[in-house]
Structure 1
Amino acid sequence: MTHLITATELAHEIEDVVMLDVRWALTTANTSAGRTDYDAGHVPGAYFVDLDAELAARPGDGGRHPLPDPAVVEALLRRAGITAHTRVVTYDGKESYAAARAWWVLRWVGIADVRVLDGGYAAWLAAGLPVSTEEPADRHGDVEVRPGHLPTLDAAGAAALARDGLLLDARAAERYAGETEPIDPVAGHVPGALNSPTAAWITADGTFRRDLAEHWGRVRAGHDVGGGAVGVYCGSGVTAAHEMLALAELAVDAVLYPGSWSEWIRDPARPVATGHSPG
C-alpha cells in the first residue's frame, strides 16, 4: 500500500477525504508564513495546521519539536471532523517534510488511512487544479485520540540501535559531520549513526524519487540490517518523519526518535561523534 497520492489522484478523490495543509519550513518556524500561504490559496476544502502549535509541544527537555499533547491533536482532528476511519491527505508546500510529520503524528494517535500529496501544493498547482481562499467550517467532531499506535525511540533506545541495528541520521551531511550547525548549540551526531540525508530521497520537484529501493540499497550498503531494527532521527523529529515515509513506501518498519539531536544534546553526558559516515 502506498502512503503517497498524486495531485491527479487527489483531484478524483477530493470529495472523499479530509485534507490538511501543513505548509511550514524550518527557516520560517514560529512565524505566520504558513498561515499566510494558506490564506493566499490552498487545495479546496483543506484545513490549515500549525506544525509548531498542533503537531509539536513547546521546546524543552524533549527537544525543539517534542511529540504534541494528545489533547491538542484531538482538538485538531475534531476541528476537521476526522475520525479513526477517515481518509486523510496531508500536504505542504513542496518537499513533504512537514506533511510527513502530520502523516506520522496522525498515525501515532490512531488514524490509519493517512497519505501525503507527493510534491505538495506545488504539484497541485503544476497540474492546473483549482485553488481556494475559503477556510472550511469547524466540523465539531468528537473523536478521542489514543497515542502510542506507532513505536518511538528515546535517547537510550537510539544509542542501543546505533550499536546493534541501524540508526539513520536524516540531516544534511555537513550537519551530521559536525562541520556546521546552524540551529542546535552542539554539532555532530549520535555515535554509530549512519548519515542518510532525507533530501536525497526526493527529486528537484519535491516528489519522491522513483528508484527508492535502489537508493535504499545504496544507503545501507555495507551495513547488514538483516532482520534488525531501523531507527531514524534528525534535528528535531520533523524531517526524520519524511525519511520514515520513504521507508514506509518500501515496507521497511522503521522507528522514529522524536526528540532527535536537539534532545540528545540536552544531556552533556551523552557522547557526540563527528566526521562522515564510514564506508
Structure 2
Amino acid sequence: MPILITADDLAARLASGERIVVLDVRWSLAEPDGTEAYRAGHIPGAVYVDLDHELADHDVTGEGRHPLPTEVAFTGAMRRWGVRDGDTVVVMDDLGNQSSARAWWLLRHAGVADVRMLDGGLDAWRAAGHPLETGDVTSETGDATARFGGMPVIGIDGAAAFPATGVLLDARGAPRYRGEVEPIDPRAGHIPGARSAPSGENLDADGRFKSAEALREHFASVGVIGEAPVAAYCGSGVTAAHEVAALAIAGIDAALYPGSWSQWSNDETRPVATGASPVE
C-alpha cells in the first residue's frame, strides 16, 4: 500500500467525491496545541487531531512523555475523526510529516490498511494552489475499531538488547544524540549502541520525503544494510515514527520504541553513551 500522496492527487480525489478522511496533526514541542493554526486555515474537510491527547495516554507513568494510547481510547479517537472500516486516511501537518507520522504509525498499528501522509504537508498543498477553509470540522461518527499489532514495537529491554543483533536508530538531532545539549530529559546522550539518524535528514529542501533510492543510501550510510533488523527511537516516540515511515518508503521494515529517550533517561539503572560513536 502506498505511504505518500501528493497534494494534486489528494485534491483530485477529494474533488471527485471519493471518501477520504483527512487528519490535520499540527504539533511541535514549541507549539503543542495546533488548534488555532488549524482553525486559521486547513484542507477542506480536514479534522484536527490533538497529538498530545489523542495519540498518547498521559495516564500511563514510567513509559515516556507520549505513551501509546489504549485500543479503547484510540478507537474512540478514530470514531470522532469519522474513520470507518475500509476508509482511506490521509494525515498531514506543517512540519514535513514529523508530527503526522505519529498518526500514520498508530493508524497502521491499529489495523487501518490505507493510510497516507501528504508529502510536503500543508506547504505543498498551498504551493499547488489548492484552497483552505477556516473554522472547525465535525465529522459524522465513524465505526472503525483499533486492533493493535499491525506494526512492530519494542520496549525498554528490547531497546537495550537491540544493538547486539540489529541496528537501533536515534532520530533526534545530532547534538542531542552526542549529549551536547538536552533541553527536555534528565540525562543527555544516547542508548549505547544506537546510531544517529536525525529524522530531518529524511526530507529534501522542500520538506518532502527523499526518494526511496536516496533514503536507502542514507540509511545504508548509518549501518542499515543486509538483513539485520532495524528499530528507531527519538525523544518521546513522535519523530521516531517518521523514521519508521522513511524506512518503509525505502522498503525496510522497522520497529518503534515508543518510550524512547524520555523513558530511558528517566531510568537511572540504564547506561548512557555520549559522543559521536554508538558506544563510548
- TM-score, normalised to structure 2, is 0.93
Which sits farther off after the overlay, 152-161 or 67-76? 67-76
Aligned partner of 1:62 in structure 2 is: 63
How much does 1:227 deviate?
Answer: 1.6
1:147 aligns with 2:164: no
For 1:151 and 1:224, the matched residues in 2 are separated by 17
Consecutive aligned runs of 4 or more in structure 1 exceeding 4 Å deviation: none
Aligned partner of 1:230 in structure 2 is: 230
How much does 1:75 deviate?
Answer: 1.5
8 A Cα contact 1:63 1:262, kept in partner: yes
Aligned partner of 1:80 in structure 2 is: 81
Which sits farther off after the overlay, 46-55 or 222-231? 222-231
User: What is the 5 A alignment of 1:2-17?
Assistant: 2-14=2-14, 15-16=17-18, 17=20
Aligned partner of 1:18 in structure 2 is: 21
For 1:224 and 1:8, the matched residues in 2 are separated by 33
User: What is the 5 A alignment of 1:35-74?
Assistant: 35-58=35-58, 60-74=61-75
Query: Which one-letter code corresponds to 1:183 in the other structure?
Result: I
How much does 1:135 deviate?
Answer: 2.9
Query: Which one-letter code corresponds to 1:50 in the other structure?
Result: D
How much does 1:142 deviate?
Answer: 2.7
Aligned partner of 1:262 in structure 2 is: 262
For 1:134 and 1:39, the matched residues in 2 are separated by 4
Kindly provide the CA deviation profile for residues 56-82 of structure 1, in whole angstroms up to 9, marking residues without a partner as x: 111731101110122222122112221
How much does 1:247 deviate?
Answer: 0.7
| SS of alignment partner, residue 102 of structure 1 | helix
Which sits farther off after the overlay, 127-136 or 87-96? 127-136
Query: Which one-letter code corresponds to 1:277 in the other structure?
Result: S
Aligned partner of 2:170 in structure 1 is: 169
How much does 1:160 deviate?
Answer: 1.5
CA gap of 1:182–1:139, structure 2 versus 1, over 3 A, is same
For 2:268 and 2:83, the matched residues in 1 are separated by 41
| SS of alignment partner, residue 28 of structure 1 | coil
Query: Which one-letter code corresponds to 2:161 in the other structure?
Result: A
| SS of alignment partner, residue 151 of structure 2 | coil
Question: How many residues of Structure 1 are paired with residues of Structure 2 in the alignment?
Answer: 275
Query: What is the Cα-based RMSD across aligned positions, in Å?
Result: 1.8
- TM-score, normalised to structure 1, is 0.93
Structure 1 unaligned segments of length 5 or more: list them: none
1:127 aligns with 2:128: yes
8 A Cα contact 2:40 2:135, kept in partner: no
How much does 1:134 deviate?
Answer: 4.2
CA gap of 1:213–1:182, structure 2 versus 1, over 3 A, is same
Aligned partner of 2:251 in structure 1 is: 251
For 1:101 and 1:222, the matched residues in 2 are separated by 23
| SS of alignment partner, residue 176 of structure 1 | helix
Which sits farther off after the overlay, 217-226 or 48-57? 217-226
Kindly provide the CA deviation profile for residues 22-75 of structure 1, in whole angstroms up to 9, marking residues without a partner as x: 01112122xx3x000111010000000000000011173110111012222212
Kindly provide the CA deviation profile for residues 170-227 of structure 1, in whole angstroms up to 9, marking residues without a partner as x: 01111000011111111000000110011011022211123x4334334433736422
